[in-house]
Every structure is written in structure tokens, then in C-alpha cells.
A and B are shown apart, each in its own frame.
Chain A
Amino acid sequence: MKPAPFEYTRPATVDEALAALARDDAKVLAGGQSLVPALNMRLLRPAVLVDVNRIAGLDRVETAGDTVVLGALVRQADPRVQSHPVLGAVLPHVGHTVTRNRGTICGSLAHADPAAELPVALVAAGGSVVAASASGRREIAADDLFAGPFTTTLATGELIVESTWPTPGEDERFAFEELSVRGGDYALCIAAARVRGEEVRVVVGGVTPVPTVLEVDPDHPGDSAAEQVDPWGSIHATPAYLRQLVRVLVHRAVGRAREGAP
């Protein structure tokens, strides 16, 4: 299992990276914790890899009011982000200690694995990303970013240069639940809940093609969530089992968020 040949470029600035990305057979190499396995297994054969790891300033973490802005190179293990209520709850579930040392938060968003935690977390947090290309920059809300499994609404030549994570307010609580076959694996089912007073926002992942916001009955969140999903099932879990996971994990996530609610 070795990658097929490719050209390698290591830009020093975002502009150089964007120039190199302006072709549809180029891929961004950030943390590489999903991309390099796909190269090794030859699931992907890009002509050019654009390694953004040496671009100065892309590892910035900025707190602006009640949001935290993370540059494209902020790693999942970065100590600066672990105290954020949403990221701190979710990141321990993302891969393993060693893969988190290298994997980036923005890279996981761009990869858009349907069983990944960070896309669900961004939707639950009501966050967004900034996509840059040779022709300019645009902000994409989390709700508009994920188009399908491993598919985003990013256009050819666009690079996520930062992601924005609103911090839940004083009167809000966040809880995250997932079940995976082994610790650190991708999830069979993910449930995130945000509670503010009587308001409940639930997002599920793993059982849907993209992170999906569910309108739940506040008195029966698990049951009403389970009625709204139609999991496709896999070698690891039948559709009926996945639906039951939605019921249980949404119930738990909402319950835990309410317990922590002021």
C-alpha cells in the first residue's frame, strides 16, 4: 500500500497555495490523517499535493467576543482549544492521541466524513468556515457546508483558511454523545444537544449523509429523533439498531445538557 506518484509543492503563503490549487486534480495536504491513508490505499490519485503545513500564521487561535476563530493548521490536540465547551467535549472522541497531534480541525471539516465528530460539532455550534480561492474569500455557514458523504460545497481551488466556533452563552449547555465500535474509531452514531431554557437543538451524525439538525419534541427528544432518521445500515449495524442508537444517544445528550443547564 504505497501512494501513486504525485507532484509535491510546499507553498510559504496562502496566496501561493491558492495559485497551486487552481486546478481540479490538486489536493490540500494539512494534517493528512485521512488523506494519506486514502493515498496509501490508492483511493485517491491526485496529480498535485499542496502541503499547507509551512504557511506562517495559519495556526492562529483568536477569540473575538463570543466566538473562537481557528486557522487551518490548528491541530485537534491543540491545548488552546480544549477549554471551548463544544470542542472540549468533542475532540477527545476524534481519532487517537497521536492522530490528534497531527490532524487539523479545519481538515476534518473539509474531509466531511459522515461519521466524523467535528462536522456535527460545527453544525451544533452554529459555526462557519471561510473559504479562500484565487478569486476571493467567502464565508460558508456550517448548515451550507456539507453536501453529502465526503462532499462539501467548496468549489475547485477553494481552501478553508479558518473555522469560526461560537461559544455557547452563559444560559446554554452543550452535550455530546457517540457510540463507536472501538475507542477512537469513527462513530456509528453521534448526537449533539444544545439546550437553552425550553429550547432544544439536536444534531445527529453517522446515521445520515451529512450532519442533520432534528426538530425534536422537548418531552420525548429520543423517540421523536428516532422517527426522523432513516439510517442505511452497514456491516457493523442494522438500520433498526442505528435507529435505536439515535433514540438512546439523543435522549442521553439532551438529558446531560439539561442536567448541566443553569
Chain B
Amino acid sequence: MIPVAVSVNGRHYREEVEPRLLLSDFLRHGLGLTGTHVGCEHGVCGACTVRLDGVAVRSCLLLAVQAQGCEIVTVEGLAGVGELTPLQEAFRRHHALQCGFCTPGILIAAEDLLAQVERPTRAEIVDMLSGQLCRCTGYTAIVDAIAEVARS
């Protein structure tokens, strides 16, 4: 077992973990933060996307021990209790989710795109979404929601 100390959504945690524990499982099973979803576990579906030291990453492709000393933001940490971020608000307005399984990862990945590219085009938003699978086929509304925030 290896000690790991991380900050998740502003709260500090100190745990002992096996080296092979994935960050996604650490967040869900170790810390009880089940907003981060696990789909494919090989980096294709994007459901497990979280922010690590300011950058969106696949939490299923990181070991928990690799997050030692890092600041993590999960979907639970995007807005305060009872509040929505402008992007979450746009998702609600545009019906940009159906079952919601993919939504936490898409929110984090979309915030990452908005942080990296000042005014992403529709094509750039679609390209980013190639790494975030939605099986309810709700992409049009998702693109609309992100594009609206990109314009504002």
C-alpha cells in the first residue's frame, strides 16, 4: 500500500491505496464521489473525465497514486450545492442530456475546451466530442449548449 494525499473539490483526503487502483475507482469507491462515471475503462468513452491540476484527463487511465499532491475537480465540484455553472445551465436549457451517464465527463471536457480555445467553432466542439460518447445520440443539443456558452 502507498499513501496518497489529494485535494478533491477543495477537500483534502489522505488514503492508503494499492498501486493498481485506478483514479476513477479511488474517486468512486474510496471517496464515494460517484458523479464520475466509468464506462469503457480504456479511454474511449470519456465518461470518467475529471480535471487534474487544471487539465481534463481520463481518470480510468491514471493510477490513484499518480494523483499524489494533485488538485482534482469532479462534476460534484463544478458548482456549489443547488447552483449550476453557465455550461450546466445551458445543458438544462437545451435538453443536452437524456440518461445523463455521459454528462459529467462531457461537462469537464467541454470546460477544458472552453478554457483552451477562446471561441471554439462548432467544428472544434464536434471534434472534442469525438472523445466523449453519448449513446442517447443527443449530440445536436450538446453541441448547441456548448456553442451557446462559447458565444457568450
Chain A residues within 8 Å of B, Cβ to Cβ: 1-8, 10, 29, 32-33, 36-37, 39-41, 49, 51, 53, 77, 92, 95-99, 101-102, 182-184
Residues 46 to 82 of chain B near chain A (Cβ within 8 Å): 46, 49, 55-58, 60-63, 65-66, 68
Q: Are A33 and B18 in contact (CB under 8 A)?
A: no
* B144 beta carbon closer than 8 Å to chain A: no
Q: Which of A1, A7, A37, A97 contacts B128 (CB 8 A)?
A: A97
Q: Measured between C-beta atoms, what is the minimum distance from A103 to chain B in Å?
A: 9
Given contacts A37-B61, A40-B42, A99 and B131 within 8 Å (CB-CB): yes
Q: Decide: A36 near B112, CB < 8 A? Known: A99-B131, A183-B130.
A: no
8 A-B residue pairings within 8 Å (CB atoms): A1-B42, A5-B19, A32-B61, A36-B22, A36-B62, A95-B131, A98-B49, A101-B57
Contacts of A98 in B (CB 8 A): 46, 49, 56-58, 109, 112, 131-132
Q: Does B8 belong to the interface (CB within 8 Å)? A: no
B130 touches A33 (CB 8 A): no
A203→B80 CA distance, assembly (Å):
52
Chain A residues near B113 (CB-CB < 8 A) = 97
Minimal beta-carbon separation of A247 from chain B (angstroms): 26
Report how far A183 CA is from B44 CA in the complex, Å.
Answer: 11
Instruction: Give B97-151 interface residues, CB cut-off 8 Å to A.
Output: 109, 112-113, 116, 127-128, 130-132
Q: Which 7 A-B pairs have the closest CB atoms?
A: A96-B131, A8-B19, A37-B42, A183-B130, A3-B20, A36-B61, A184-B130
Docked pose: A49 CA to B56 CA in angstroms: 23
> Which B residues touch A37, using CB under 8 A?
41-43, 61
| B105, closest chain A residue (CB) | A98
Chain B residue numbers with a CB within 8 Å of A53 are: 66
Which B-chain residue is minimally distant from A4 (CB atoms)?
A: B20
